[in-house]
Structure 1
Amino acid sequence: MKTAQATCTAPFAAAYALLRVGADVGDHLVQSDFCARTKGATDAAPVTADDGTVHGTAAGRRACALHCLTYSATQAAALLLGARSLGLRLRPGQLAAALAISGLTHYAIDRRVPGGLLQRFADATGKGNFFRLADHGMNGAYCMDGAIHHACETVAAAVLAR
């Protein structure tokens, strides 16, 4: 008789790998330059485009939402194609829940407004200096962003594996 742990291990590993590749492709290949530049814009910290257009809070929210939609769609494609080729059974409710966990947390993390969720977390845990590090080939905010995304994708993979 298989234990619940044994029956979840392989689907969890496959789901995590598929979510991770979808995330990397969605973040670094699919995300538009506009979204990457504008998703953290606020009226207090606007972003100026190459054409001189100034983007504030509303544009930042729209850019982040668009990015998270394409990001989630890329993860969905990776999951569906990968599951088909691996013979992994994905239940629609769990798939929707996993994509919602990944996409909604991605939005909260990627908005990166000054004093936003990630910066508040960094400051509260004594990692504020690392968060602001952008020197010596390092970008602390980017590293912390990735770490939190990976943690959220782990939760999403666990949802898919059950």
Structure 2
Amino acid sequence: MFADPTGTRAAVFAAVFVALFVAHQVADHWVQTQRQADCKGRPGWPGRIACAAHVTTYTLTALLALVFLIAGTGLRLDPWGVTVGLTISAVSHYIADRRVPLRRCADALGKNPAWLEHGGGLYALDQSWHIGFLFIAALFCAV
């Protein structure tokens, strides 16, 4: 890693992270269809297909946010870095939204089942998982 005395790399990372975070909020709460939300965690192919459809629109929303960021600021991003970052975001999003892997992680960490099921715990863990991986995705996108 090389020194960046002007803070340019940090500013690019911050702008990319904000764009991905905004895209996440829009894609998860506005773009996702009710059918995708209801079915993406179901077992078998119906659940896999619903989750893949959601992740596709989620990733396209993130890409669109980056396009707007680039158009609005003149920022230049490496296409390979963006590809890797959006892939990390998409794969991690799919894993969490299939529900079982996230629930297994919560159980392994000893999270209270009542909080998970009735206290908003699964939603909180889902969103924090996504935001954590958005941070990693933004690091790659901003390379």
Q: Normalization by structure 1: what TM-score?
A: 0.82
**2:110 aligns to what?**
126
Corresponding letter in the other structure for 1:157: A
Corresponding letter in the other structure for 1:10: A
Q: How many pairs are equivalent?
A: 141
The structure whose residues are more often helix, as a share, is 2
**1:152 aligns to what?**
133
SS at match of 2:75: coil
Percent identity of equivalent pairs:
38
C-alpha distance in 2 between matches for 1:36 and 1:131: 20
When Rg is computed on C-alpha atoms for both structures, the one with the higher figure is 1
1:64 to 40, 44, 51: 51
C-alpha distance in 2 between matches for 1:104 and 1:73: 14
Please say if residues 82 and 142 of structure 2, whose CA atoms lie closer than 8 Å, have aligned partners that are also in contact.
no
* More relative contact order, 1 or 2 (CA 8 Å, 6+ apart): 2
C-alpha distance in 2 between matches for 1:33 and 1:149: 19
Q: Does 1:80 align with 2:67?
A: yes
Corresponding letter in the other structure for 1:146: Q
Structure 1: gaps of 5 or more residues: 43-56
**1:106 aligns to what?**
93
Runs of 4+ in 1 over 4 A off after TM superposition: none
